Structure formats: structure tokens, C-alpha cells
Structure 1
Amino acid sequence: MTTSEMATVLAWHDALNAGDFDTLLSLSTDDVEIGDAHGARQGQAALLNWARDLDAKAEPGRIYVNDGVVVVEQRIVSVTGEVGTSASAFRVVHDHVTGVFRHDDLDAALAATGLTEADLTG
């Protein structure tokens, strides 16, 4: 585990939740991939469009890290006040997010990445 990978992902969440798109893009590679079970898009323009359309905040919870892969359990709060949970798997290289994939829950994210409870940060 490296602190910089966690810090990058936490800063990415902060920028996303604040609507600070310049910082969000600066924390992501030019060819960043963003996806979920319905498909994926690539590039900063796709990330920017996705972030602008987002109608919720993702509050980080438990974080798992191993070899550039970061899984974050998230509390999702929509603009209507509805609360749910999900998890996202990030790939971080040289302090930049190269990919983020949203999963319905933590178990699915951990299974997809091969991370385990042993990778849970303290």
C-alpha cells in the first residue's frame, strides 16, 4: 500500500464532490477510463461529461489498496437526499487515476479486483 495512491483517490473524490472539474481532470490521465456494468468511456471529455451529469455525492468509507489498485466503499447521497451504497475500483499510476469502475457493492468490487480484507487500510 502506498499513501500516495490513497491520497490521489481521496483528492479525486473531494474534487468530484465539490464540482472542481479542473482538479478532477488534473488528477486523471488523458486517457482515463470510467465505467460500470453498462459500459465504459475513455478520455477526459468523457470523465468531464460524466462528472457534470452526476446528481450525487460519493462519500468514501473503507479503503482497500494493493499494487496501484484502490477500492473505495462509498456512501452515495443524491441531490434528493436518498442514500445508498456502492464501491468503486480505481487504478492509480504515478499519482493519477487511469481508470475508475463503479460496482453495485463492495463485495463485487473486491471480487473484480482480487483485493481482500488483508488489503484494508487502517
Structure 2
Amino acid sequence: MTTSEMATVLAWHDALNARDLDTLVELSSDDIEIGDAHGAAQGLEALKDWARGLDVQVEPGRIYVHEGVVVVEQRITSVTGETGAEASAFRVVHDQVTSAFRHPDLPSALAATDLTEDDLTG
């Protein structure tokens, strides 16, 4: 199951970066929750609105997985070329993302999900 969950999250990143909303929707549950420190929203329309509003590319880095929870360290590049780092926590059920929450950094995402370095994938 771990490989499937990782593949789903990586495909989700690819669709997000390509602004391929059809694939992003296919990879997400109807009641997906998305959020960050500024709030949360639910549903596919909220997901599409959020994705349309992004002005960054998200490059996945280290991946942590445990029982359907996937935390991804991410390198963020804005349209102006500025770079930064953050992390996102995903819940994957039956090869669909049911939630995606952005965190300011990897330690915050790991703490929010109770994942540890033991959950780091190869």
C-alpha cells in the first residue's frame, strides 16, 4: 500500500504543477479537504479554485509514509523565481487524496501527523 500511496501523491503533485485540473480531480476524493495556516476548504470546486490560484511550482523531496498518511518535504519556486521550502501532509484512501494540508516546514508537518524519521521512505 505504501508504494500506491506515494505514487498517488506524486501524481497529484505532477497534476498540480501542470495545472491539469482534470487529473487533479481524478486523484482526489469528492470531499477532499485542503488547507493551510490560513484556513481550510472542502470539495472538488474548492480544490480547483485553490489550484487555479497558485503561482508556484512544487517539487517533492523526502517522503514519509505511515498507514495512509504521506508527508512530503517540498521545494517551492514562485513565478518570480524565488525559492523556499515547506511540507504538506496528505491522507490517501483507495488511491485518492482525501486531504492535503500545507505546513511551513517539515518538522511542523511531521508533528501534525505524528510521523517520525522512522517513516522516511528509501
Range of TM-score over shorter length: over 0.9
Name the counterpart of 2:117: 117
Taking the aligned partners of 1:108 and 1:93, their CA distance within structure 2 comes to 22
Alignment of 1:42-121 (within 5 A): 42-121=42-121
Taking the aligned partners of 1:90 and 1:7, their CA distance within structure 2 comes to 12
Alignment of 1:31-46 (within 5 A): 31-46=31-46
Residue 15 (structure 1) shift:
0.3
Residue 38 (structure 1) shift:
1.1
| Secondary structure of the structure 2 residue equivalent to 1:87 | strand
Number of residue-to-residue matches in the alignment:
122
Over 2 Å off, 4+ runs: none
| Secondary structure of the structure 2 residue equivalent to 1:80 | coil
CA RMSD of aligned residues (A): 0.6
Residue 2 (structure 1) shift:
1.1
Name the counterpart of 2:7: 7
Q: CA offsets per residue over residues 60-102 of structure 1, 9 Å max, x none? A: 0000000000000000000000000000000000000000000
Taking the aligned partners of 1:106 and 1:113, their CA distance within structure 2 comes to 11
Q: CA offsets per residue over residues 5-63 of structure 1, 9 Å max, x none? A: 00000000000001111000000000000001111000000000000000001100000
| 1:21 aligns to 2:18 (yes or no) | no
Taking the aligned partners of 1:2 and 1:64, their CA distance within structure 2 comes to 10
Taking the aligned partners of 2:33 and 2:97, their CA distance within structure 1 comes to 9
Q: Where do 5+ consecutive residues of structure 1 fail to align? A: none
Query: Percent of counterpart pairs with the same letter?
Result: 76
